[in-house]
Amino acid sequence: VCTQQELLPCKSLPETLLFQLLGLSIATLSTVTHYGLRFALISNVSLDSNAYRVIHHTAFYFGICLSMTLILAALLSSAATVRESQCLTAMGFFCFALAFCGLIPAACWRYTHSTEVEDSMMDVYDFVYEEVRRNISTFRRHELTAIHEAFLCCGKHSPFGDTTNVENKTCPPNKMHDEGQDCLQEIQDFLKKHMDFVFSLLGIAIGFTVYGMILTSFLWFSIHFSSNLYRKGKYILR
């Protein structure tokens, strides 16, 4: 139960919890994307010349930094409300602004490079597949088998001739020669769903950071200009 003296801190509690939940959601998504079986497998297989590994690590560190910034902004805003501190309020606003400045370029990059992640991931599969088809490396055969098992797919439609030999050596028994199990298509469909979810979360985060900046700005001006905040519990109705 909130008394009149504690009304403002109690009002800020739901917003604080929402920002913390948003930060934890971003951290969870970043961790799943980085350490998930399919993503980690492709990252380990990819060459240094392929862009996927750079994107993979950059996305993880960006997500973790963003989540920590949002959680810190929520905690600072809550502490500023309780203590009525202009300094803490300004720090909270700065954290929200910092998160906003990171989210906008990330959303723009996703919009302008909508297929770069998918293309780089499929390039990795193409490279491994062709290495196995030419019998260049036995180690690549184990990598291709792991990819087939992770994505539950089998081979691809190759313009270089019959691929049955590759599929017999690397595909799961229950997936061999299944219709519609082309791995390039499976990878593309999987990444499209994942990236659409990431883009939606970015949009939600942008909206919440704008709301957070407005909220902390209003709180700062209220503390700065209103003497009523220094007379808690002594309001007079007229």
Which amino acid type is present at position 203?
G
Cβ neighbours, 10 Å, residue 133: 18
Q: Which residue segment(s) compose the domain that 112 sits in? A: 6-116+143-152+182-228
pLDDT at 238: 52
Indicate whether 173 belongs to any domain. no
Residue ranges in the chain assigned as alpha helix (H): 7-35, 37-45, 52-83, 86-112, 116-133, 138-151, 164-170, 183-225
Indicate whether 168 belongs to any domain. no
Q: What is the DSSP letter of 156?
A: -
pLDDT at 28: 94
Indicate whether 106 belongs to any domain. yes
Asked if 107 and 203 touch (Cβ cutoff 8 Å), the reply is yes
Cα(114)–Cα(192) distance, integer angstroms? 9
- What is the pLDDT tens value at each position of the chain, 238 positions in all? 444 444 445 545 567 788 889 999 999 999 999 999 999 999 998 887 788 989 999 999 999 999 999 999 999 988 888 887 888 889 999 999 999 999 999 999 988 887 888 899 999 999 898 888 887 667 888 999 899 889 988 888 765 555 567 777 788 776 555 554 688 889 999 999 999 899 899 999 999 999 999 988 888 888 777 644 455 555 454 5
Q: What is the DSSP letter of 153?
A: -
pLDDT at 223: 75
Overall number of domains in the chain: 1
Indicate whether 78 belongs to any domain. yes
Asked if 60 and 26 touch (Cβ cutoff 8 Å), the reply is no
